[in-house]
Amino acid sequence: MKITALVENRSEGKLKPKHGLSLYIETEKHKLLFDLGPDATLFENAKKKNIDVSEIDTVIISHGHKDHGGALKRFLQINSKAKIYVQRRAFEQHYSKFLFFMVNVGLDRRFGDHPQVILVDGDIEIDEELSLFIVNENSKCYSSANDSLYESCQKDYFKHEQNLVIREEQTALIIGCGHTGIVNIMEKAVSFAPQVCVGGYHLFNPLTKKTVDKYLLDEIVENLKKYPQVQFYTCHCTGKKAYDYLASKLPNMHYLFCGNTI
């Protein structure tokens, strides 16, 4: 299994950084994209890495925010064969509240009934390699960075967020923003026994530029210490300050920059 970050907030190399996420993953049976990023950055960076987007057979969109699925229209113009798995509720209205303004951060709702899009309700097993699951219980280690996010006219509880499990010689857990909380996600993922976990933890608010309080970071550290066998690669919405703190406490915590490959 090979996992490459094609869209991510920070880059150490030649690839263009962008606020968002897209991971290109090669498995024994699949060439897949986990998230698509916000815009054409995915396609520019894929070209630099000699990755042919038209050959992708599977796409997972982690949740209904445009920094993870904003490039869907362009992807469908390039690729006519990939199956695209999205939770049904991801195509509902999603907003970010800033001061007195509600900013639309949702997916383009016109593509909810596209023939390549498969709308999912909850957990499913795609095949013997790939499974998707949602997290309904998100009370542990709640991130205050979620407070500005809404669906329709109410606070967002992220029932539209899904996580991917890939089973090969090692098992990988792939998450998008981890809005439901990395601690809650790991507790549900225990039955899959992941050895690698890749994704963001949403501990940084990109509008206010604020990182969550230290007490929450300490609580996350204590909970993640239960998984010394898991290599954690975080990115995107975790934020540099939160990552630096987590990595100082957890020897199995790493950062996945744009262009990096696991």
Residue 10: which domain range?
2-255
Judge whether 260 lies within some domain.
no
Judge whether 261 lies within some domain.
no
Interacting residues of 225 by C-beta distance below 8 A, sequence separation 6+:
250
64-73, 199-208, 211-220: segment of lowest average pLDDT: 199-208
Judge whether 41 lies within some domain.
yes
Q: Quick one: which of 209, 207, 210, 201 has its CA closest to 246?
A: 201
pLDDT tens readout for residues 1-42? 999 999 999 999 899 999 999 999 999 999 999 999 999 999
- Across the range 158-185, mean pLDDT stands at 97
Judge whether 262 lies within some domain.
no
pLDDT tens readout for residues 80-123? 999 999 999 999 999 998 877 889 999 999 999 999 999 999 99
As for how many domains the chain has, the answer is 1
Judge whether 173 lies within some domain.
yes
Cα–Cα distance for residue pair 181/65, rounded to 1 Å: 16
CATH number of 218's domain: 3.60.15.10
Judge whether 51 lies within some domain.
yes
Mean of per-residue pLDDT scores for the chain: 96
Q: Identify the DSSP state of 11.
A: B
pLDDT band for position 152 (50/70/90)? Answer: confident
